[in-house]
Structures are given as structure tokens and as C-alpha cells.
Copies of this chain bind each other. A is one copy, B any other.
Amino acid sequence: MKVTSTNPATGERRELDVDETTPEQVAEASTRARRASHEYARRPLDWRQALLRAMAEELEADAPSLVATAQVETALPEARLRGELARTAFQFRFFADVVRDGAFLGASIDEATDSPMGPLPDLRRVKVPLGPVAVFGSSNFPFAFSVPGGDTASALAAGCAVVIKAHPAHPETSVACAAALERAAVRRGAPEGLVSLVFGLDAGTALVQAPAIAGVGFTGSVAAGRALWALAHAREVPIPFYGELGSANPLVVTPAAARERARAIGEGIAGSVALGAGQFCTKPGLIFVPTGGDGDDLVEALGAQLGEGGSVTLLSEGIAENFRRGARALERDGGATVLVGEAWGGAAHTWARLLEVDAQRFAGERALHAECFGPLAVVVRYGGPDELRTALEAAEPALTFSAHVAEVDPDAAWLVELGAGRAGRVVVNGYPTGVGVSWSMHHGGPWPATTAAWATSVGAAAIERWLRPVAYQAVPEGLLPPALRDENVLGIARRVNGRLQPGP
């Protein structure tokens, strides 16, 4: 069956000259990836860095064409896509820096010694690549979280081959991005099969089940993520599954903050909710606002700005249908009141919605806790700190937790502490939608935000998902990996006899 590309703005469908991948072809790609992984893991780290930089260059060289293709398939604005592609190229260079830094190897050397427990042999530990990684990109970032996205870049940085399941919402963009990565691979003489692409729902299932695959990176819905997560565990040899799933992203405005700057915060929230038509995993979906006049002003400013946004085109008809279904569930099953919601729209088109509910109802009604992917937020009005705390503890753990506080604010400390207990990132006086590629970023969180709270899918630490440690006991110098030789030939940070030594 041919793969189809759909323009969500017009509904026009085109058949691509690409077939859905058969389970046999998935098995072949995975086996090739295993061979490639094995060979790739033996290449020096500076070779790996050069490959990642070459991939950044090839993506940039093809930018005008990639952006144009993605625009047709996603209905996202050109400027946004240009920025996203720049970020995606930056991400490959950033992971080249992470490889050069070398701390990700966790190298540790304990020389033979006498201990209170008797003599201890020479023991050295380093992290090695896990093996071929399956990557499931998301619909909402056709570059940064898709074929050339963070999972692909971090897995390649870790020394793993990747087999990528193309997202059906942008297959032509996926083909073009994979071709750019492949050009870099060929240019650098990478082992054949280091990066490959498969298409179709059945191919995705077969990929998670392929014996050669050693781990999975997934960004998408709770339902799809949980199903694939279960498959990864039902294998004869289970493999780690790193899924970034749904997140309603609570944002709290304290009474003191609302008193100080109600309208500015309301407008800021509107901008964050509407960004990318609300199609961000970090969109603030639950806005906790105090009852009373300041809160009313804030909600009015938020609603006014959201209402001015006009009709938007979502990434696909399917996403638009899910958006309408999710919004109806919040309104009908959850009993939320509609403050803004011009019309439902049709096909991939819709309008932003703003709902409202009181905190007591929110705390007791699970139908209100679900993420609704798209341009929608639920305002939760609370009467005091106890009501607020109960409502926040009823909400599901999330990728982010934001608090808008005043300079002197009795609620600031407990909100930051509560947020750190229930989210992967705590934002003060800001908006959660920007996720920078950096050393300190953590883009993760407790279930159901992700399937593994220790892991991140953005930032330097994303590489850690694709590694496992190996200890070498009394292994002769000549047989040790370079990172563990007596002389620090890689110039990396290592722990030696318990003391951390930074690289030169």
C-alpha cells in the first residue's frame, strides 16, 4: 500500500512513491541496524562527532526545500518551521559537543587496592551503546521531535543506529529529512543501515517487536504510547521504552500575582496556549486562578486574547477530531463552562476554546484531568490555598508545573515544592512552552507524563537512555576501551579512585 500525504489546510491527499513497510522489511532494517550499531560503536568518538555535525550541515543545506515540504503537510507557519529546523540542526551540533565532553560515558577507575573488606581487584566502568533504537516521532514537531529529532540525535550520539517510524502526518517531510541524514552518513562513510525509515502502523508494531531492536523512543499520545510500551514489555526479551506521553501542565496564578499583574499574565497565558495552535506537549492546559475580581480580570484578558485568534488549522484531521472529542468530554462529562469557543470547525480547522470550572468540581471529576491536545485551556477557579492544594494534587503529574507569584508571596515556596514533586520542570513567572536544548534541560516527568521519570527526551541527559554500563575487572590496559586507559587519552571527566577529575 502506498503512503499518502495530506495537506491539512486543503484536505488534498497525494499518493507518494513510497510503500508501507512490510514486517519482513522491518526485520531486515532492524538486522541491518544491529550490524551498523556494532560497527558504529567501534568508531572513535571524534568520528561520531563529525557525523553529527555533518547531519546538521545537510539539514541546513536543504532547509528551503524541507521547510516548504513541511509547510504543506503540517499547516505550520514558515517562520516557525524555519526556526524549528535551525533548532534541529543546532541539536545535532549540541550532541556532538556532548560526545566531545565525554562525561556521558560515566568513566570511573578504581585501581587495585586493599579495602576493609580485603583486597579489591582493578575495576573500571564505562557506558556502552545499547544497540539499535526505534524512534517514533511526533506529529507536532516535524523536525525537532521527528525523523531528525532529539531521539534520533541522542541515540546517534550514544553510538546507536536508529530505525525511525515515520509519522503519518508528514511522510514526505520524513522522507526528505531521512535523505539529508543519509547524505551525511554516506559522505562520512558511515556503516550501511545506520539510519533507516519505516512507514505504517503495522511497521511500528513490528519494529517494537523486532528482536534486533534494543530500545524505543516515543513521543505521542497516552493511548498509543501505552500500547507500544506494553508491546515492548511483552517481548521474549523486553526492552526499555522511553515514552513522552500526555501532560496537562498546570499553571497557577497566586492571589498576590493576580493582584499585581492580572492582565499581563492573562495575555501571557493566551500566547502560550495558542502557540502552534496549542499543539505543544508543554501547553499550559490547566490554569489555576483565584476567585474574585483580580482573577476575573485575568480570565477576561486571557479569554479576550484567545478569542481574537481566529480560525486555526490543526496538524491533521485526526488531531482536529480528537480535539473536538476531548473538548466535548471536558464540557459534557466534566461539566466545564465554555468561556470562549466560537465554533467547532470542520476537517482540520477549528477555533481556540477556553473553559472554566471551580476547584472543588475539578478535584472530584477525573474527566477534567485529561490533556486536550490543541488550542484549549481549562481555567480552574480556587477560593484559598487549601482548595488550590487539593485541586493540584488531584491533577495528574505532568511535564511542567508553572507558578506566577509576586515578589513577596506566601504561596511561592509551597507551590515550587509541590510542583517539583509532581512535574519534571518547575517554571516561575514564565510559560512552559519553550523547551531549550541545553545541559540543564529536563523534559520528562512522573507517569503519565512519561513512562520513565528518570529519563529526559530533550537536553544533554537524553543520551543516557541509550547507554548501559559495563565494568572491566583486571582487564589488561591494551584490551580496555579508550575511556578507561590509564592515560586519559580522550581528555574527558573521569572518577579515579573515588575522586572526580574534570577533563583537561
Contact = CB atoms under 8 A, between A and B. Distances in A.
Contacts of A426: 470-473, 475
A412 interface: yes
A154 to B, nearest CB: 14
Nearest to A443: B471
Contact of A425 (B87, B233, B470): B470
B115 A476 contact: no
A424 B495 contact: no
Nearest to A464: B454
A412 B121 contact: no
Interface string A115-138: 111001101110010100000000
A502 interface: yes
Contact of A475 (B128, B428, B454, B473): B428
Nearest to A122: B440
A74 to B, nearest CB: 19
Contact of A233 (B106, B233, B427, B438): B233
Contacts of A128: 420-421
Given A108-B440, A426-B471, A441-B123, A501 B502 contact: yes
Interface in A187-201: none
Interface string A455-494: 0100001001101111111111001010000000000010
Interface stretch (A303-311, A382-390, A444-452): A444-452
Interface residues of A, number: 82
Interface stretch (A254-262, A265-273, A356-364, A429-437): A429-437
A1 interface: no
Given A128-B420, A428-B476, A469-B442, A237 B86 contact: no
Contacts of A454: 240, 464-465, 467-469
Contact of A439 (B440, B498, B503): B498
Given A240-B452, A441-B125, A454-B467, A117 B475 contact: no
A421 B420 CA distance: 37
Contacts of A465: 454
A110 interface: yes
B120 A473 contact: no
Contact of A429 (B108, B424, B474): B474
Interface in A397-435: 412-413, 416, 420-421, 423-430, 432, 434
26 contacts: A86-B116, A103-B495, A110-B438, A110-B439, A124-B440, A230-B233, A233-B233, A413-B479, A424-B468, A425-B473, A426-B471, A426-B475, A427-B474, A428-B474, A428-B475, A428-B476, A429-B474, A430-B474, A440-B495, A441-B471, A442-B469, A442-B470, A453-B468, A454-B465, A499-B502, A501-B502
For the complex of A and B, list the 5 residue pairs with the smallest distance between their C-beta atoms, beginning with the closest: A442-B471, A453-B468, A425-B471, A108-B440, A110-B440
Interface of A: 83, 86-87, 90, 97, 101, 103, 106, 108-110, 115-117, 120-121, 123-125, 128, 130, 230, 233, 237-240, 412-413, 416, 420-421, 423-430, 432, 434, 436-442, 444, 446-448, 451-454, 456, 461, 464-465, 467-476, 479, 481, 493, 495, 497-503
